[in-house]
Amino acid sequence: MSQSISPTALAPKTAPAPELGALAEFTQETLALTQRLFIQLQRRPSTLVAGVIQPMMWLILFGALFTNAPQSLFGPDVHYGQFLAPGVIVFTAFSGALNAGLPVMFDREFGFLNRLLVAPLASRYSIVAASTIYIISLAFIQTVVIIGASAALGAGLPSLIGLGAIALIVLLIVLGVTALSLGLAFALPGHIELIAVIFVTNLPLLFASTALAPLSFMAPWLQWLAALNPLTYAIEPIRYIYFNAQWSLTSPVMAAPWGDLNFGVMLAVLLAFDGVALLLIQPLLRRRFG
């Protein structure tokens, strides 16, 4: 500290650096924030380990729950393990995304977020983007493991195009839910409240979806709820891919109480869900200063 210091190291810049393009800046800050999350994951991998073990439990334990249910209850030549796999894929991705706000909330509580907010970020959406990239990567790892395990348990394996479609659907549901969770992380007073919200949202949304049972099993009012639940719009197309080798955007995927919905409509609803979620959190990100 006392040795001589080159004065340039401490001197202010003579002129402020030229601004890079907004997109280049956004990319740079997003990548750096994403890298931070992956370094954390690499040094503290327990979240990922638990996130892989949990869906295995669902598949094995829950799958065994209905082993002796009458054949063809869930569809011709469909056993419950097959029926369950798409539900577990979506629910696992959903749970991960729902927790996306927690690290941001802890950054807020420890004051680390201030470091990001006093920096001249091109956009605060880079915080959202970094979390989304991170959560999507985790969800993809989990999805691959679930698809593999389900195949081993006899659920079969979709075609390559089918797998691509599953990846797209997982991405769409994760994007919207991550955005909402991050919005809550900016809006709620602290992590206790955020955990409470996660707690009361998680399982009810699971049960009010078609993850564990088809619409036709449900009470009429629950059918309506499940048919409005974004999770259902992710589960049903994946299930259709699992059950039908042949599918297209016009395939009738779900019989909602008000009529049949095809594959394309389901994807459009997921896309709209993402759009609404991103718009909803905008004022929260903007709060005080833009």
Partner 1 sequence: MTAAVVIEHLQKRYGETPAVQDISFSVERGEIFGLLGPNGAGKTTTIRCLCTLAKPDSGRVEVCGISAIKQPKQVRRRLGYVAQEVALDKVLTGRELLRLQAALYHIPRAIAQDRIQQLLTALNLTDYADQKTGTYSGGIRRRIDLAAGLLHQPDLLVLDEPTVGLDIESRFVVWEFLRQLKAAGTTVLLTSHYLEEVDALADRLAIIDGGRVIAEGTPSQLKDQVGGDRITLRLREFTPEEEAQKAQHSLNALPFVETVIVNPDQGNSLNLVVQRGSNALPQIQETLTAIGLPIFSLAQSRPSLDDVYLAATGRTLMDAELAAASTRDLKKEQKQAMKTA
CA distances from 185 to 124, 128, 181 (A): 14, 11, 6
Under rule CB under 8 A, residue 6 binds partner 1 = yes
Cα–Cα distance, 69 to 72 (Å, whole number) = 9
Compute the least distance from the CB of residue 38 to partner 1, in Å: 11
- The answer to whether 186 and 281 have CB atoms below 8 angstroms apart is yes
Residues 130-159 that bind partner 1 (CB under 8 A): none
Compute the least distance from the CB of residue 40 to partner 1, in Å: 5
Cα–Cα distance, 288 to 199 (Å, whole number) = 29
**Which residue from 99, 106, 116 is spatially nearest to 177, judged by alpha carbons?**
99
- The answer to whether 207 and 213 have CB atoms below 8 angstroms apart is no
- The answer to whether 226 and 239 have CB atoms below 8 angstroms apart is no
Residue from 114, 159, 244, 282 that binds partner 1 (CB under 8 A)? 114
In the complex with partner 1, the residue whose CB is nearer, 76 or 111, is: 111
Spell out a b/e string for 110-124, using b for 16 or more CB atoms within 10 Å of the CB, else e: eeebeebeeeebbeb
Residue from 189, 252, 257, 275 that binds partner 1 (CB under 8 A)? 189
Q: Which residues pair with 262 in a beta bridge?
A: 252
Residues 199-238 that bind partner 1 (CB under 8 A): none
Residue from 52, 56, 121, 228 that binds partner 1 (CB under 8 A)? 121
Both structure tokens of 152:
């081993």
Binding mask 168-187 for partner 1 (x = CB under 8 A): ------------------x-
Residue from 23, 49, 118, 219 that binds partner 1 (CB under 8 A)? 118
Residues 10-29 that bind partner 1 (CB under 8 A): 10-13, 16-17, 19-20, 24-25, 28-29
In the complex with partner 1, the residue whose CB is nearer, 171 or 187, is: 187
Total residues contacting partner 1 (rule CB under 8 A)? Answer: 52
Residue from 57, 64, 117, 203 that binds partner 1 (CB under 8 A)? 117
Residue from 52, 113, 198, 278 that binds partner 1 (CB under 8 A)? 113
Instruction: Please report where in the chains the tokens 């991550």 appear, as a residue.
Output: 178
Compute the least distance from the CB of residue 196 to partner 1, in Å: 17
- The answer to whether 149 and 59 have CB atoms below 8 angstroms apart is yes
Under rule CB under 8 A, residue 76 binds partner 1 = no
Identify the DSSP state of 12: P
Instruction: Please report where in the chains the tokens 């049949």 appear, as a residue.
Output: 260
Binding mask 32-61 for partner 1 (x = CB under 8 A): xx-xx--xx--xx-----------------
CA atoms within 13 A on the CB side of 231: 29
**Residues interacting with partner 1, by CB under 8 A?**
1-3, 5-13, 16-17, 19-20, 24-25, 28-29, 31-33, 35-36, 39-40, 43-44, 107-122, 186, 189-190, 287-290
